Amino acid sequence: MNPIPVILDCDPGVDDAIAFLLARQLPQLNVLAITSVAGNVGLEHTTYNALGLVEFLDWDVPVYQGASGPIFRKRVEASSVHGANGMAGFDLPHSRTTAAMPAWDAIHHIALQQQGELELIAIGPLTNLAMAFLKYADLPGLIKRIVIMGGATAAGNTTPAAEFNIYADPEAADIVFTSGVPVHMCGLDMTMKALMTPAELDQVGALGSNEAVFFRDVVQDIVGFMKRIGILGISMHDPAAVLYAADDSIFKAYPAGIRVETKGSITQGKTVTDLFSDAKWQKNAFAVMDIDRDAFVMKVFELMKKY
């Protein structure tokens, strides 16, 4: 079976970094490009981190810089969780530079080349994807599937209603959900269950490669943050979405109608998800609701042993 041609759209970000480590070793994915977007921290940091990660991993993938903020709103970020530079203070110096084309143009250009087979994995705010759909009317017919880390059918994490990636640019998210391309939402319902314990993180570090040690060390500030809110370990939000895109066999997903609230005074950014109602919304998406946690951790070890 040929690997899936994908673009990884991201805002590195600690768990984005772990997603890079896994994606680099996944035989099911052919990562053709990485596109950066403002999210966890500002665009200058997310782009720098993306370039540093591909050099650290000796990964021959171009990085295209994207949007510096949401389409209509003021930018929000999560530096209180990921650190001022987005990488918990870790610096990944590099000599690489971004490709000349903006991210949204690169998405369209690569989609044309892939003739309907391209898939998008978006693990940050969805601004780049929305910009591409707004600019190129033919793009929906060129994209096979979109897998996102974002949203939730129930509770949020940035507000009681909204998950961070959707809250950061709700208008962009709604453009993506209504684009006509099937969207697979790896939201908090599933990703909070993709938990790795401190002992499991230490076991990854004990593998001994530079990549494995980085994996363990870069997450420690977030482990401390999680402990303060009563959770031991770290939920691997972005890595779980990447693994879902490669192989959904350890996940449970259900057809759903999903839209994004952009007007509500206390519900902005909520992914309003219709799984069972009588409203008969069009099933434009899939809500990924569950994960086999033990199988997930085994897969992480399997991939990290390749370094």
The residue written with tokens 């990660």 in the block is 53
At 277, list the tokens: 């109602």
Instruction: From 32, 43, 51, 16, select the one nearest 169 (Cα to Cα).
Output: 43
Give the Cα separation of 100 and 286 in Å (integer). Answer: 34
3-class state of residue 305 by DSSP = coil
Q: Is residue 237 flagged as an active site residue?
A: yes
Instruction: From 183, 148, 149, 156, select the one nearest 255 (Cα to Cα).
Output: 183
At 188, list the tokens: 């908090």
Instruction: From 259, 273, 260, 258, select the one nearest 170 (Cα to Cα).
Output: 260
Distance set, CA 299 to CA 4, 37, 69, 255 (Å): 18, 28, 34, 25
Give the Cα separation of 88 and 109 in Å (integer). Answer: 34
> How many helices (DSSP H) and strands (DSSP E) are in the chain?
13, 11
Contact yes or no for 44/86 (Cβ under 8 A): no
Identity of the amino acid at 132: A
Among 82, 108, 184, 237, the one annotated catalytic: 237
C-alpha 246, offset from chain centre: 13
Give the Cα separation of 268 and 77 in Å (integer). Answer: 16
For the chain, give percent helix, strand, coil, nearest 5.
Answer: 40, 20, 40
Give the Cα separation of 9 and 64 in Å (integer). Answer: 9
Which amino acids are annotated catalytic? 237
